[in-house]
């Protein structure tokens, strides 16, 4: 009889409405058994006495179990999976590009690059020269019959300075390439 009394009293105590609930991160830690010490005891007592939290913990356990089952079904990520072989046409093209064989001109990559830069440099120089002529004709007034010269700011003339660093770079590349060719010729002749 005393046992029944204590059980009823204990059940009534368990059904006490809680004012504060532990955060869901603490409940998840409880489900995953990551809590330690006093925090684990507090959450365990709260879950045992709170129907709302015990229901939430039961749902969390079901979800964690379902995730574990799905994870077991996945293949091992550390297992070796061979890559597909590259397409032969693409691989041959890449190989030609790596070896420096030009597709369009048939020249090595360094010589082809120098020729492209020289062409761009020459076309930029011709374009700036033509621009200079056109702007001189349009923006500089004809000489005055009165003899007083009109000063004109010829800003477009300074555009030639843009070509200077590029020209030095191209000259350096051409010199380097010619020295490389000479050294190759010497090694061929010495063999």
Task: Give the tens place of pLDDT for each residue, 38-70.
Answer: 888 888 888 888 888 888 889 989 988 888 888
Rg, C-alpha atoms of the chain:
42
Note the pLDDT tens digit of each residue in 113-147: 667 777 777 888 888 888 877 877 777 666 666 66
pLDDT tens profile 9-18: 455 544 555 6
Residue 69 has what pLDDT?
Answer: 84
| Start-end of H helices in the chain | 2-14, 24-31, 37-49, 51-73, 88-99, 109-139, 163-190
Whether pTM exceeds 0.85 = no
Measured between alpha carbons, how far is residue 17 from residues 4, 11, 135 in Å?
A: 22, 12, 90
Residue with the two structure tokens 């621009």: 131
Over the stretch 91-118, which tens digit does the pLDDT of each residue have?
665 665 555 544 444 555 566 666 777 7
Query: How would you classify residue 59: left for phi > 0, otherwise alpha for psi between -120 and 50, otherwise beta?
Result: alpha
* Residue 171 binned pLDDT confidence (cut-offs 50, 70, 90): confident
The Cβ of residue 46 has, within 10 Å, a number of other Cβ atoms equal to 19
Looking at per-residue confidence, does 103 or 183 come out higher? 183
**CA 12 – CA 14 distance, rounded (Å):** 5
């Amino acid at each position: 009889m005393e046992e029944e009394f204590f059980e009823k009293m204990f059940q009534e105590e368990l059904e006490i409405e809680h004012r504060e609930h532990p955060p869901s991160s603490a409940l998840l830690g409880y489900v995953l058994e990551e809590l330690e010490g006093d925090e684990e005891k507090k959450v365990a007592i709260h879950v045992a006495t709170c129907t709302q939290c015990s229901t939430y913990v039961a749902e969390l356990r079901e979800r964690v179990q379902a995730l574990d089952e799905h994870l077991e079904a996945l293949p091992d990520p550390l297992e070796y999976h061979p890559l597909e072989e590259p397409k032969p046409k693409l691989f041959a093209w890449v190989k030609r590009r790596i070896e420096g064989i030009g597709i369009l001109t048939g020249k090595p990559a360094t010589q082809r690059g120098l020729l492209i830069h020289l062409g761009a440099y020459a076309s930029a120089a011709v374009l700036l020269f033509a621009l200079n002529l056109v702007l001189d004709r349009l923006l500089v007034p004809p000489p005055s019959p009165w003899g007083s010269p009109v000063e004109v700011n010829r800003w477009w003339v300074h555009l030639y300075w843009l070509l200077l660093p590029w020209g030095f770079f191209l000259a350096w590349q051409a010199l380097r390439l010619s020295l490389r060719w000479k050294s190759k010729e010497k090694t061929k002749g010495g063999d």
